[in-house]
Amino acid sequence: MDCISNMAGQKKQPILWIVSIAIVCFLSSVSFAETARTKIDVSDIRFWSYPDYTRVVVTLSDSPEYTKNRLANPDRLYFDIKNSQIRKELKTTLPVGNGMLKSVRASQFDESTVRVVLDLEKVREYKIITMEDPIRLIVDIYGQPSAAATSSNPAVPAKRRIVIDPGHGGHDPGAIGPNKLYEKDVVLDIALKLRKILSQDPGIEVFLTRDKDIFIPLEQRTAIANSKNADLFVSIHANASPRKAAKGIETYFLNWTNDEEANKVAARENRISLKKMKKLNEERDILEIIKGDLSRDSKRDESLKLANYIQLSMVNSLNRDYSHIVDLGVKQALFYVLFGARMSSVLVEVSFISNPLEEKLLSTGDYREGLARSIAGGITSYVTSDPPVQLLARNQSQNQSITHPQSQTLARASGRIRKTVASGQ
């Protein structure tokens, strides 16, 4: 019997009884409407496909609870996203057919569950991470190495592959200086100059994630670096702070941290709140993924070395021509753009665009050229000190173990950083 018939049946009862039933009816309807409103929308599914690597991104309206499972005959991986619904305009079947994935499918499995299925072919491993603003469930699929990657002639030196990532772009201006200088324009110009400098070395091949004013999602930038089988990934940004006096240069590598200032920088670049940034440092699934990621091929040590070479080169080089350069050192934080990168990777904050003096410097071609040359100097020092991970991998068998000797010179130069690294273990 529904609420209306209940009320009708009780019309001879005292008014208090009728009011009580009316309140129950109202609260029930509100609860039902609230449940309907809080369903998670599965609003978009897209993928980026490359010869040995595919990234699938599922965009959601809220943080999901999900279960996953892998089944055989046929081989497939599926995710059941709880309390969710598919938007009517969503394309529910995406053909891929790249040797790793046959297709990606989504359906309303039941009234409150959306099932996303990845039809697999030859898959070596996969990883799952989530990102916020917007909420994305990201699945990285790794296939078998291509013939070109495993049959290189060790007698012929392979080119070192470097991916340069100018931050922001398009509708995302990044930080904006007091005189309206846009971060996206500054870092693109530095990246173009850096490409020109590095390309003068015949042993280096340089790629940019963007070479014009366009927007590229953070998760696609890493996918580009992985698809190129890069040796290095360098993301370039300009810093910003509410304190106009804040100034200096700093370089980051991927690791968790409880440092307040480092978390503020990462929160701004990730486009999430500081509260969410701190919560990210505590999420077990994120930490386990990053922990596994950093242990592969001494990646954390290599990224730390790269960060130190770049930081030292920038500070030493720029101090010859500018008296105010402040060395903020090498730091660590969880930057989305570095998530899932399978090579040595760093994020460089070239100066504070929020500082009027440093904004003025960043607006000049000479300073940008100096930054590009000093970053190039750090990269060159790194690649000549020890062969990068991917370069060795391309010239050796896929299953051969690769280790890297520590550089004693760098160890002395970066002694102050090692305490920070230890605290993140």
Provide mean pLDDT across the span 285-301. 64
Residue 236: partners with Cβ closer than 8 Å, 6 or more residues away: 164, 165, 166, 167, 187, 190, 191, 194, 347, 348, 350, 375
Give the CA count within 13 Å in the CB-facing half-sphere of 237: 25
Q: Which two tokens stand for residue 297?
A: 């091929």
DSSP string over 247-294: --EEEEEE-----HHHHHHHHHHHTS-HHHHHHHTT-HHHHHHHHHHH
Q: Is the dihedral of CA 299, 304, 305, 306 positive or negative?
A: positive
pLDDT of residue 70: 95
Res 153 pLDDT > 80: no
- Beta-bridge partners for 327: 249
Q: What percent of the chain has pLDDT over 90?
A: 61
Q: How far is CA 239 from CA 40, 118, 168, 243, in A?
A: 34, 39, 12, 11
Note the pLDDT of residue 189.
98
C-alpha radius of gyration, the chain, whole number: 26
pTM of the predicted model as reported, rounded to 2 decimal places: 0.77
Residue ranges of domains in the chain, CATH in brackets: 40-146 (2.60.40.3500), 156-423 (3.40.630.40)
If you average pLDDT over residues 376-388, what whole number do you get?
85
pLDDT score, position 401: 31
* DSSP secondary structure code for residue 338 in this structure: G
**Mean pLDDT across 389-403:** 40
Distances (CA, A) of 349 to 231, 247, 327: 21, 10, 11
Range from 12-21, 49-58, 257-266, 318-327 carrying the lowest mean pLDDT = 12-21
Q: Give the pLDDT mean for 135-154.
A: 72
What residues pair up with 34 in beta bridges, in sequence order?
none
Do residues 375 and 314 lie in contact, with contact meaning Cβ atoms separated by under 8 Å? yes
Q: 296: how many CB neighbours lie within 10 A of its CB?
A: 11
Q: Cis check for the bond before 74: say yes or no (omega within 30 of 0).
A: yes
User: Considering the chain, what is the average pLDDT of its residues?
Assistant: 83
**For 1-48, how does the pLDDT look when each residue is reduced to its tens digit (9 = 90+)?**
455 455 455 544 566 666 566 565 555 554 444 444 589 999 999 999
Beta-carbon contacts of residue 294 (< 8 Å; ≥ 6 apart):
254, 255, 300
Contact present, 278 and 263 (Cβ < 8 Å): yes
Q: Residue 224 — pLDDT band, cuts 50, 70, 90?
A: very high
pLDDT tens digits for range 159-184: 899 999 999 999 999 999 999 999 99
pLDDT band at 399 (very low <50, low <70, confident <90, very high): very low
**Each residue's pLDDT tens digit, 273-290:** 888 888 877 775 666 666
* More confident of the two residues 241 and 3: 241
